[in-house]
Structure 1
C-alpha cells in the first residue's frame, strides 16, 4: 500500500513511458514521509471504450487513483495529490498542449481493518 491506478484514453498523442512515470510517482510519495518504496504498487490501464463531453475526438483524459489505507489524513492526501499532479502533468505535457485533455486525481480509502496481503520471503 499505496496503490496507484492510472486509466487513460487511447488517443493520447504520445506513448506514455509508464516505467519512468511510476518511478517519479513512487519517489514523490516516498518524499512525503511515512511511505515505504517497496510497498507502492502501480499499474496503468489503457481504455479504448470511453466518451468525454460531446464525444469530440480531440478530448482525452488521464485519471489517477491513489488507494491508501484509511488512516491517512486529509492533509496527507492533499499533498499526495499535489505531488502527483506535478509529475503527471510533466509526463503528459504534449497531451495537454495538443488535446482537450483532462488530468484527474482522486484518493480512495481502503479499510485498514480488512486489507490483507501476502509477501513472498526475501530471496
Structure 2
C-alpha cells in the first residue's frame, strides 16, 4: 500500500507510460502522509475496448485510482488527488480534435482486511 492504478484509452498515441508512472509515484511519495516510498506500487495499462458516452467524434480518457489504507483526512486525499491530476494533465497527449477526460479517484482500503507481507 498505496497502490496506484492508471488506465487509459488506447487511442492516445505517444503516452509516455514509464515517465508518467515514475512522475506519479514520485508525486505520491512527496506527500507527507506517505511514510515509506517502498510501499508505493504503480502500474499502467492501455484499454483497447471502451466506450465514452454516445456522441460522435474522437474521445479518450485517462483515469488514476490511488488505493490507500483508510484513515487519511479528506484534505490529504484532495492533495494527493491534485498531485496526481497535475501529472496526468501535463503528460497525457491530447490529439487535435479529440476530447480527453482526465480523472482521479482516491479509494480507501479496509485496514482490518488488508494483508501485506515482505519476502
Distance 1:81 1:96 in 2: 24
**2:84 is matched with which residue?**
84
CA distance in 2, matches of 1:47, 1:58: 15
Structural RMSD (CA): 1.6
* Paired residues for 1:40-119 under 5 Å: 40-54=40-54, 56-92=56-92, 94-95=93-94, 98-119=97-118
Partner of 2:39: 39
CA shift, 1:4, in A, is 0.6
Deviation at 1:29, TM superposition (A): 1.4
- Give the TM-score, by structure 1 length: 0.87
Deviation (angstroms), 1:99: 1.7
Given that residues 7 and 45 in structure 1 are in contact (C-alpha distance below 8 angstroms), is that contact kept between their aligned partners in structure 2?
Answer: yes
Consecutive unaligned residues of structure 1, counting only runs of 5 or more, are none
From the two aligned structures, give the one with the greater helix fraction: 1
Following superposition, the deviation at residue 91 of structure 1 comes to: 0.7
Instruction: Return 5+ residue gaps in structure 2 as ranges.
Output: none
Could you tell me how far apart the structure 2 residues matched to 1:69 and 1:21 are? 23
SS in 1 for 2:65: strand
Query: C-alpha offsets along residues 55-92 of structure 1, whole Å, 9 cap, x if unaligned?
Result: 53510000110101011111110000001111111111
Give the TM-score of the pair, scaled to structure 2: 0.90
**Alignment coverage as a number of residue pairs:** 118
Deviations 1:16-59 (A, max 9, x none): 22221121111111221131211001111211111001253510
Q: Secondary structure at the match of 1:95?
A: coil
